[in-house]
Structure 1
Amino acid sequence: MRPAPLRHLLLPLLAALLLSACHGRDETAQSGGSTPEAALQASVDLLKAGDFNGLWKHALPPADYANLRADWSRHQRDPRPISAEDRVRFSETMQKLTGADAEAKLYAELQPKLASMQQQYKDQLPVLVSVGEALVKSGVSQSKSLSDAQKAQAGSVIDVLAPWVRQTPWFDQAKAKQAIGVAVATARKLDLKTPEQLRTMDFDAAMGKYATGYAGLKQLLGIYGLPVDETLNSVRFTPVSSGHGHAVVRVDYTLLGKPLSTESKLVQQDGRWYSEDMLDNARKAHLQATQPAPAGTAGSAVTVD
Structure 2
Amino acid sequence: MAALLLSLAALVGCDRSPPADTDAPPKLPAEAVQQLVHDLRRNDLRGYARHAVPPELHRRLETAWREGRTTWPLTELPLDDRLPAFLQALAAPDAEKKLQAVYKRQFAGAHTELRSAAATLGLFATQYVRSEGDYSDEERDHYAQLIAAMSAWGQRAPLGDATRARVAIAQLSAAARQSGLSGPDAFRLTGMDRSLERLGPFFGRFKQVLVGYGLDFDASLDGVDASLAEQTGDTARVRIRYTLAEQPIDAFVKVERHDGRWYLSDVLRHAETEAARTAAASVAPKAPGAKTAP
TM-score interval, normalised by the smaller of the two chains:
0.7 to 0.9
Are 1:223 and 2:212 matched, yes or no? yes
Percent identical among aligned pairs is: 23
CA contact (8 A) 1:145 1:281 kept: no
Quick check: 1:59 aligned with 2:47?
A: no
User: 1:170-205 deviations in whole A, cap 9, x for unaligned?
Assistant: 222332232123123212312346314334212222
Asked if the contact 2:176–2:182 (Cα under 8 Å) also holds between the matched residues in 1, the reply is no
Structure 1 residue 287: Cα displacement: 2.6
1:94 counterpart residue number: 92
**Structure with more helix by fraction:** 1
- Secondary structure of the equivalent of 2:94? helix
CA distance in 2, matches of 1:293, 1:191: 27
Q: Which amino acid aligns with 2:270?
A: N
Q: Does 1:284 align with 2:282?
A: no
1:90 CA drift (Å): 4.6
> For residue 16 of structure 1, what is the aligned residue in structure 2?
7
Inter-CA distance 136–207: structure 2 relative to 1 (3 Å threshold): same
Shift of 1:24: 4.2
1:16 to 1:126, Cα distance in 2 relative to 1, 3 A: closer
* SS of alignment partner, residue 55 of structure 1: helix
Aligned equivalents of 1:211 and 1:191: distance in 2?
12
User: What is the letter of the counterpart of residue 19 of structure 2?
Assistant: R
Change (3 A) 1:56 1:197: closer
Q: Give the Å deviation of 1:278.
A: 1.3
Equivalent position of 1:122 in the other structure:
111
Question: In the alignment, is residue 37 of structure 1 matched against residue 35 of structure 2?
Answer: no
SS in 2 for 1:281: helix
TM-score normalized by the length of structure 1: 0.75
Change (3 A) 1:107 1:279: closer
- Structure 1: which 4+ aligned runs deviate by more than 6 Å? none
SS at match of 1:278: helix
Q: 1:262 aligns with which of 244, 251, 267?
A: 251
Amino acid at match of 1:197: A
Checking the alignment, whether the CA contact within 8 Å between 2:111 and 2:160 is kept in structure 1 is no
Equivalent position SS for 1:238 = strand
CA distance in 2, matches of 1:62, 1:200: 21
Question: In structure 2, what is the equivalent of residue 303 of structure 1?
Answer: none
1:158 aligns with 2:156: no
- C-alpha contact (below 8 Å) 2:100/2:166 kept by paired residues: no
Residue 64 of structure 2 is aligned with which of 61, 71, 83? 71
1:28 aligns with: 22
CA drift of 1:91 comes to: 7.3
Distance 1:267 1:91, change over 3 A: closer
Give RMSD over aligned pairs.
3.2
> 1:129-278 residue pairs with structure 2 within 5 A?
129-192=118-181, 194-278=183-267
* Distance apart, 1:218 and its partner CA: 0.5
Letter of the 1:20 counterpart: A
CA contact (8 A) 1:27 1:42 kept: no
Unaligned runs of 5+ in 1: 1-9, 77-85, 301-305
Q: 5+ unaligned residues in a row in structure 2: which ranges? A: 70-83, 285-294
Residue aligned with 1:288, SS = coil
Match of 1:50 in 2: 43
Tell whether the 8 Å contact from 2:108 to 2:162 is kept in structure 1 after alignment. Answer: no
Within 1, Cα distance between the matches of 2:202 and 2:111? 29
